[in-house]
Amino acid sequence: MSEQGVNGGQLLLAEYQSVKDEQRARIGFRDNLLYVTLAVVAAVVAASAQARQAAMLLALPPVCVVLGWTYLVNDEKISAIGAYVRGELGPRLAELTGAEAAFRWETAHRGDARRASRKVIQCGVDLLAFCLVPLAGLVVYWASGQVSAGLVVLSVAEALAVAGLGVQVVLYAQPFAAAASPSSVS
């Protein structure tokens, strides 16, 4: 640092680096949640089949809802960081430096022709991994003939929780959801 101290541009660049580091960490964590979900699903299905206990499949909905919600929250924060950089940091830095724009990649990569189809497919993958798989487990349990009244009540509550997560996955999906305004980014 110079003896004159830190200027506004340096502060904005430091903030940019900080939020991008957080975004990068969240992306890695979010992406690993899909692998964790696949591993847990495989373990529960294998254990249930080996023990011939369909009731063990009732472990799928709570695990998938928790992992799916965690995935969704991280995905939302990743998008919020991008919106903040595009809507706040970039324009402030461009104004401060007199540049036409700053952080162009934050906007440029969002404009390709296949982005919308990728987002729709990703929404489908999220619904499959976090909602359809546990619902299939519930259907197998209900059809197994090994049901009890208490577990049926529990399984219906689980089905409602999975359906609620599915609604949230669709509501948060881009390009369906309105882009978060920079002022609403937390």
The whole-angstrom separation of Cα 180 and Cα 186 is 10
pLDDT score at 50: 97
- Tell which residue, 155, 157, 167, has the closest CA to residue 130: 167
The whole-angstrom separation of Cα 96 and Cα 8 is 8
The whole-angstrom separation of Cα 55 and Cα 61 is 12
pLDDT score at 174: 62
In a domain, 3, yes or no: no
Provide the token pair at 63.
């695990």
In a domain, 1, yes or no: no
Are 42 and 35 within 8 A, CB to CB?
Answer: no
The structural domain count of the chain equals: 1
In a domain, 153, yes or no: yes
The whole-angstrom separation of Cα 94 and Cα 102 is 5
Of 27-31, 75-79, 101-105, the poorest mean pLDDT is in 101-105
Of 10-19, 66-75, 135-144, 162-171, the poorest mean pLDDT is in 10-19
Percent of the chain topping pLDDT 90: 72
Domain range enclosing 130: 8-184
What pTM was computed for the model? Answer: 0.84
pLDDT score at 132: 98
pLDDT score at 179: 43
pLDDT score at 175: 58
